[in-house]
């Protein structure tokens, strides 16, 4: 993910992918393949929206406070629109969705995303 220049967001995206994979494997082991697919889709909603946010933030030059705030708001708006759209698409098109696995993995990844605040931007 070298197109994402923000180190904390890059690390959190990788962690989200890992959490999605682990959740899907655990759900597949205990439940079924359809439930694991639901977990993967829930994780994908979070990962894709977070990646879009990170890409928009990484493209910002940040020369002024106004420009930085505008970029952050634009990135957050894109993220929310993607989340709502993808949630609707999954529930509308995937008949065998396990809502608990889908929303559970999505919420788990949202919590992981909040951990970006704790990742240092220092590469030393």
The verdict on residue 24 lying in a domain is: yes
The verdict on residue 2 lying in a domain is: no
Domain count, the chain: 1
The verdict on residue 22 lying in a domain is: yes
Residues 49-69 have a mean pLDDT of 83
**How many residues can be counted in the chain?**
124
The verdict on residue 61 lying in a domain is: yes
- 3-class secondary-structure state, position 97: coil
The verdict on residue 122 lying in a domain is: no
Task: Tell me if 46 sits within 8 A of 109, measured CB to CB.
Answer: yes
pLDDT of 1 reads 43
Cβ atoms < 10 Å from Cβ of 35: 19
Query: Domain range spanning residue 18?
Result: 7-115
H or E element, residue 41: helix 33-58
pTM here? 0.84
Tens of pLDDT along 61-119?
A: 767 888 888 888 999 999 999 999 999 999 999 888 998 999 999 999 988 888 766 66
> Which token pair is 23?
């959740």
Task: Tell me if 25 sits within 8 A of 66, measured CB to CB.
Answer: no
């Amino acid at each position: 993910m070298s197109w994402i220049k923000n180190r904390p967001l890059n690390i959190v995206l990788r962690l989200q992918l890992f959490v999605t994979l682990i959740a899907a494997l655990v759900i597949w082991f205990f439940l079924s393949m359809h439930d694991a697919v639901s977990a993967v889709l829930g994780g994908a909603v979070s990962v894709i929206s977070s990646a879009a946010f990170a890409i928009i933030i990484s493209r910002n030059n940040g020369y002024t406070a106004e420009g930085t705030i505008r970029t952050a708001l634009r990135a957050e708006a894109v993220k929310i629109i993607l989340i709502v759209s993808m949630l609707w698409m999954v529930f509308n098109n995937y008949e065998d969705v396990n809502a608990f696995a889908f929303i559970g993995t999505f919420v788990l990844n949202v919590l992981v995303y909040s951990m970006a605040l704790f990742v240092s931007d220092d590469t030393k």
